[in-house]
Amino acid sequence: MKKFSAPLGDILFCLNHVAGADTVPDWDGDLAAEIAGHFAAFAEGEIAPLDEPGDQQGCRLQDGRVRMPDGYAKLYADYVEQGWPGLTAPEEFGGQGMGAMMLAITSEIFSGANHSLQMVTGLVPGAIRTLMNFGTDAQKARFVPPLASGQTLATMCLTEPGAGSDLARVRCKAQAEGDAWTITGEKIFISGGDQDMSDDILHLVLARTSDDGIRGLSLFLCPCTRADGTRNAVTVTRIEEKMGLHASPTCQLAFDGAEAELIGAEGQGLRAMFTMMNHARADVALQGVAHAARAYDVASTYASERTQGRKADGSPAVLADHADVRRMVDEIDALALGGRAIAHLSFVMMERGDNPALVEFLTPVAKSFCTEAGMRASELGVQVLGGYGYLQEYRLEQTYRDARITAIYEGANGIHARMLATRLLGGAEADAFAAFVAAEGLENDHSFELWRAARTHLSEQEDPTPLAHDFMQLTSAVLLRCLWERISATADNHPDAGRLRRVAAQVSRRAPAFAAAHAACILAQI
C-alpha cells in the first residue's frame, strides 16, 4: 500500500505560478506554504491512517444517534485543538481570517487523505459565509464562534424524497409561532446529518413558508439542541448504505416541529442557500482533483517499481517503460494538474472579486471537469495496476468508489452543463470567459474559434440542451488550453519541470482533436 503523501509541490506551484495568487491583495505565499506544510504533516500522520479502517468499519445508527468509526472522535478533537476549523473564519469571531485560497490548499489535502471525514467537516466554511452574508448581528455572534472553534459542525439540508434537483417540489414546511419558527418534514442525503464528534450540529434547512414555488422557500438555522440544552426535534431515521464514503454518515432526517430561526429574508431561501452551495461546489471540484492526484501518486509509483517484460535491448523493464502504461500515467497526471489549475483559477478570481461574471462561468466548468477528472483518473489508476488495482490492497478501488459521488452531488454535472448552455451562454458570463481567453493571447487559436462558432450555434437553437454536454467539454478544452500554456511557461518554478513539460506536450498533441470532435458534434447537431 502506498501511504498518502500530500502533493504540496504541485499545489503551491499551481496557486503561485499558474492561477495567479499573487494578484490577490494580501496574499502571502511564504505563509501559505508554512501553513500548508503543517496541515500536510497532520493529514499524512493522523487523518490518512484512519481512512481505510473507517471505510471498512463505516458508521452505525445506535439508539437514534450516529456513531462514527473508531478513532474519528479523537481525530476530530486533535483537528479542533490545532485550530483548523477556524482557518478562514473572521478574526472577530475567533477565526484566523485566512482567505479562500488557503482553504483550497487544506481542503484538497484533507480530501485526498480522508474524503469521508472531510465531507463531515467541510460545510463549516460555507455555513460561516452564509451567516456573514445573511445573518443578523445576533445570529453571527451566537453561531459563528462555535463553528470557528469546532464546537459545532454544520449540515446543508436541501434534498427531499421525490424532489431531487427540482426545488419547486420541496415540501418541508416552516411555520411561524410568534417570533420563532418550527420546521416539519423530511430531508435526505444529508452529509454529517448526525455524528458523535462535535458537541453541536447546526442544520441549515431549506423549508417552505408559502406555496409560491421557489419564491416560497426560506432558509433556517436549526440547531440540534434547544436553548435549554434539550435535544431539538430532529431525528435520524436511517443512514444510507453507499457505494463509497462509508465513514461519512449520509442521513435521512425527520423534522417534527423542530425549533428554528429564519436567516435572511422570508422567501429568499435560495439566494442564501446558494451562498453555501457555491462554496460546496468549489470544494467538490477540489475533491475530484484530490482523487486524481492520489491516483497519480499510487499509479506512477507502482508503474516505476513493478518489473514487467523487457525493453528493446533485452534488459528488464518496469511498467512505466511500456508506452501504453506511460500514456495512462501521463493522462492521470494531466487530469490532476489541469483540474487543479481550473479550480485554483476559480478560487483566485473569487477572492479577487473584480470579475464576478467570470467566476459565475468558471464555477460549473470547474465542478464538472474536476469531478470527471477524479473518476477518470481513479479508473485509469486501477487499470495501470491491473489485477492489483482491483484488489483492496492498493486502495485505488476505494478511490474509485469515493470519487464517483462527486459528479452527482452539489448539482449533477448534467445540470451544470445545462446551465452553461442556457442561462450563462448569451450574457455577461460567457462574454467574460471569451475576454479571458483572448487576454491569454489565444484570440486566433483554432479551438477558441470553434468555441465561438459553437456558442453562436447554440444561441440560435430553440432548445440547446441536447448539445450542452459537448459544449461543456469544448469549454473545458479551451480553458485548459489557456492554463496549460501557463503551466508550460512557468514550469521552471516546479521542482520537476521535466515532468510538467512532458505532460504538457502530450496534452498539446491530443487536446485539439478532442476539442474539434466536440465542436463537430455541436455544429452537426448530433
List, by residue number, the catalytic residues: 410
Cell 467538490 maps to which residue? 284
Q: How far, in Å, CA of 418 to CA of 412, rounded? A: 10
Cell 452537426, residue?
524
How distant, in Å, are the alpha carbons of 35, 50, 109, 234, 314 from that of 203? 30, 26, 26, 10, 64
Kindly state the cell numbers that stand for 193: 446529518
Pick from 378, 369, 383, 235: which is nearest to 295 by CA?
Answer: 378
Cell matching residue 272: 442564501
281 in Cβ contact with 410 (< 8 Å): yes
Cell of 305: 517499481
C-alpha cell at 9: 509541490
* Distance (Å) of CA 165 to CA 190, 222, 436: 14, 22, 31
Pairing of the two strands 152-157 and 200-208: parallel
CB 273 within 8 A of CB 240: no
Q: Are 400 and 375 in contact (CB under 8 A)?
A: yes
Do 194 and 236 touch, CB atoms closer than 8 A? yes
- Return left, alpha or beta for 253; rule: phi > 0 is left, psi -120 to 50 is alpha, else beta: beta
Q: How many Å from the N-terminal Cα to the C-terminal Cα in the chain? A: 45
- Reading the block at residue 357, the C-alpha cell is 461574471
Q: Which residues contact 178 (CB under 8 A, 6 or more apart)?
A: none
Reading the block at residue 510, the C-alpha cell is 491530443
Contacts of 167 (CB under 8 A, 6+ apart): 158, 206, 214, 217, 270
Q: Residue 494: name the closest of 56, 162, 14, 112 by CA.
A: 14
Place of cell 452527482: 408
CA distance 245 to 232: 27
Q: What are phi and psi of 164, to 5 degrees?
A: 55, -125
Helix (H) or strand (E) holding 301: helix 269-305
Question: How far apart, in Å, are the Cα atoms of 131 and each of 69, 89, 139, 150, 190?
Answer: 30, 11, 7, 16, 19
Query: Bridge partners of 210?
Result: none
